[in-house]
A and B are shown apart, each in its own frame.
Chain A
Amino acid sequence: MQNSRVKLRWVSKMRDVVIIGAGQTKFGEHWEKSLRELAVEAGLRAIEDAGIYSKDIDAIYGGNMSAGSSTFQDNIGTLIADFTGLAINNIPAIRVENGSASGAAALHEGFIAVASGIYDTVLVGGVEKLTDVPMENITDVISGEIDREWEAFNGSTLAASAAMIARRYMYEYNAKREHIAHIPVISHRHGSLNPYAHYKNTIKIEDVLNSTIVADPLTMLDCAPISDGASAVILTTMENAKKLKNDGIVRIKASTLASDFISLHSRDNITSFRSTIEASRKAYKMAKLEPKDISFVELHDAYSIFGMIALEDLGFFRKGEAGKYLEEGYGNLDSKLPINPSGGLKAKGHPLGATGVGQVVESVFQLRKQADKRQVAIQGMH
C-alpha cells in the first residue's frame, strides 16, 4: 500500500486493553430527554455493567459531532463529567470531534490512553441530540462534515456526496442499483430484532428503489435517519479486569484510525475509501488476523453505498464484487459474514457521535453472547 503508516514496533510494549462495561440508550427520537441526560444514562449503564464505581474512572473521552451547531452547547466533556457525578474528582473529560467518526475516534483515544499506561480506567462515550434541530437546518448541520467552503457552499450535501459516489461506483463497476439496496434491507432485518434500534420495520429491495428520492440515485431508504442517542464503554487493563472478577471481558486487539482528503473532488478515486483501507490493514496486522477470521462486521452504512464500499475496502470482497455476494445472501445473521447485526446506522439509528461507540457496544454484546435473537456465531468460541 502507498504511504503506509503501519508502525507496529511498539505493539509488544502496549498494555492489553479490555472493555469491562458497555451501555447505551435506545437510539431514536428522545423528545423528553436532553443531551446531558442521554449521555449520563449511557455512561451510568456502562459503569454499572462494569461493576466499578465512578470514582475509579481516570478520564473521559466523549465523541460528539454537532453539539455546538445543533444545541449551542459546547464544552460537553466537562458537562457530562459533571452530571455523571465526577466534577469533584476533577478528571480530564475530553470531547472528541471527528465528523461521523467521532465515536470511533473517542474509542481510539481511550485505547491509546490505557495501552500507554497514562490512565488505567477510562470511560469512552458518544452522544448526539439532533431532533431539537429544525428539519430545514439539519442538513446544513450535517454538511459541517464536508468541506463547507468548496462543497457545501456550492450546494453539495453529505447525501449528494454519497449519491455521486454511488453513481460513479455503478459506472465503474457496471453495478446494479438493486445491489446497493441490499445494505439497508439487511440492516432493517437485523434492526427489527434489536430493542435499542430506532426502526423495527423490515423492508424489501423494491421499497428502497421506490422510496422518495433524496439525491438521485439514492432514496430515503438508502439514508440513515436523524437519531438521538448515547452509548458508552469502560476500558481498563487486562490486569485490572482480572482483579475485578468481571465475567464480561472483551479484549480490544486493535484500534486504528485514518483520514483522507476531506473533499471528494480532491481524491483520485471516490469508489474506494483510502482511510478505510489504511485503518483496516493496520488493524489486521495489529490483531494478527485476516478478513477470513472475522465473525461479523459492524460497518458505517450512513448511506447504503458506504456499506458496499466498506465491505470491499475492509478486504472481504474484491472491488465491484460486494453486490454479487450480497445477492447470494452474505450479510444475514446465519451467513458466512453477518453484517450489522445491530441494525447498523440505517435501522439502529445514527446519532453521529454515539454511532461508533454504539457499534462497539453491540460488538461487546455479540462477543459475550448476550445479543438474544440477533446473536451471530462467533468463530473460535464455543
Chain B
Amino acid sequence: MTIPRFWREFEHRYRLIGTKCPSCGRVYFPPRDVCPYCHRESVGKMQKYELKNTGKIYSFTVVYQDIPDFKELKPYIMAIVEMDDGPKITGQIVDASPEEIKIGMPVKAVFRRIREESPSGIIEYGYKFVPI
C-alpha cells in the first residue's frame, strides 16, 4: 500500500502532539478539530497539546497474520496503550517478548521505523512502545 505523502509530514507522527479542548479539558490523540462532547464550543479553539510519552497497556495481541508491510516482524505485538494524559493510542510493543506483556504494564512511546514502501523506497517513521 502506498500512503498519502502528507501523512509523513504530520508532526504528531513523530512527537505525540494531540489536541486539548479548552471547553471541557479533554485531551485527544490523534488530534481532532472538533471535540465530540463540546462540538461548536470547541471549533477553531482546539489547542495543541504534547502528551507525556508514558502510559499503560489497555489491551494487546500478538499478530501472526501475513501483512506485506509487517512480514519481517511477524509475530509482532499490537497494543492499545492508555496514556497518562488520558487518550488511548494503537501501536506496536517492541523490545519485549510476548510472554512478558500484561494488561496494566507501564510503557513509553519511542521513535521507530514503521514500514518502507519498497526495498529502495521511502522509509516511514512513527511511534512504537517499549516496556519501562
Query: With A and B bound together, what is the CA distance between A215 and B36 in angstroms?
Result: 31
CA distance in complex: A270, B59 (Å): 10
Pick the contact of A265: B67, B73, B80, B127 (CB < 8 A): B80
Stretch at the interface among A109-117, A125-133, A136-144, A247-255: A136-144
> Which A residues touch B36, using CB under 8 A?
261
Q: Which residues of A contact B79 (CB under 8 A)?
A: 164
In the bound complex, do residue B65 and residue A165 qualify as a contact, i.e. CB atoms below 8 Å apart? no
From A13-21, A147-155, A278-286, A354-362, the one touching the partner chain is A147-155
Write the A302-320 contact mask toward B (1 if CB under 8 angstroms, else 0): 0000000000000000000
A159 engages B65 (CB within 8 Å): yes
Also in contact, A135 and B90, with CB within 8 A (given A163-B61, A167-B61, A168-B59): no
A212 to B58, CA, bound (A): 25
| In the complex with contacts A136-B66, A140-B68, A164-B92 CB distance below 8 A | no
Q: Mark B106-129, 1 if CB is under 8 A from A, else 0.
A: 000000001100000000101110
Bound CA span A263–B84, Å: 19
Q: What CA separation (Å) do A69 and B60 show in the bound complex?
A: 28
Give bound CA distance, A136 to B71, whole Å: 10
Contact indicator B68/A137 (Cβ below 8 Å): yes
Q: B residues within 8 A CB of A261? A: 36
| B66–A135 CB distance below 8 A | yes
Complex Cα gap A183–B13 (Å): 38
Tell me the nearest residue of chain B to A212, going by C-beta: B64
* B43 interfacial contact with A, CB 8 Å: no
Instruction: Determine if B103 and A171 form an interchain contact, defined as CB atoms under 8 angstroms apart.
Output: yes
Q: A153-B7, A155-B78, A155-B92 are in contact. Are A215 and B59 (CB under 8 A)?
A: no
Min CB distance A134 to B, Å, is 10
Encode contact with A along B85-108: 1 for CB under 8 Å, 0 otherwise: 001111110000010000100000
Q: How many A-B residue pairs have CB under 8 A?
A: 101
Contact of B65 among A150, A171, A215 (CB under 8 A): A215
A214 to chain B, nearest CB (A): 6
Q: Are A154 and B90 in contact (CB under 8 A)?
A: yes
- Using Cβ atoms and an 8 Å threshold, which residues of chain A touch B126? 153-154
Structural contact, A160 and B78, CB atoms closer than 8 A: yes
Contacts of A270 in B (CB 8 A): 59, 80
Which B residues touch A264, using CB under 8 A? 80, 88, 90
Tell me the nearest residue of chain A to B73, going by C-beta. Answer: A155
- Closest B-chain residue to A219, C-beta based? B64
B contact residues, range: 35 or more
Interface residues of A, count at CB 8 A: 35
Are the CB atoms of B68 and A215 closer together than 8 Å?
Answer: no
Question: Does A266 count as interface, using CB distance less than 8 angstroms?
Answer: yes
Q: How far is the CA of A136 from the CA of B74 in the complex (A)?
A: 13
A213 to B62, Cβ gap below 8 A? Answer: yes
Verify A265–B64 contact, CB threshold 8 A: no
Partner of A155, one of B7, B59, B67, B80: B67
- Determine if A150 and B68 form an interchain contact, defined as CB atoms under 8 angstroms apart: no
Which residues of A221-276 are within 8 A (CB) of B? 261, 263-266, 270
Residues of A within 8 A of B115 (CB): 153
Known: A264-B80, A265-B88. A154 touches B61 (CB 8 A): no
User: Do A167 and B65 have beta carbons less than 8 Å apart?
Assistant: no
Residue of A nearest to B78 (CB): A160
Say how far B124's CB is from chain A's closest CB, in angstroms: 8
| A263 nearest CB neighbor, chain B only | B90
Cβ < 8 Å to A, chain B residues 35-85: 36, 58-70, 73, 76, 78-80
Contact A139:B59 (CB < 8 A) given known A155-B73, A156-B78 = no
13 contacts between A and B (CB under 8 A): A149-B30, A153-B114, A154-B92, A155-B69, A160-B65, A164-B61, A164-B79, A213-B64, A215-B63, A215-B64, A216-B64, A261-B36, A263-B90
- Besides A168-B103, A264-B90, 19 new A-B residue pairs in contact (Cβ under 8 A), listed by A number: A139-B65, A140-B1, A150-B30, A151-B90, A153-B126, A154-B126, A155-B63, A155-B67, A155-B69, A155-B70, A155-B91, A157-B63, A167-B60, A168-B58, A213-B62, A215-B64, A216-B62, A216-B98, A264-B80
Interface residues of B (CB under 8 A from A): 1, 3, 7, 30, 36, 58-70, 73, 76, 78-80, 87-92, 98, 103, 114-115, 124, 126-128
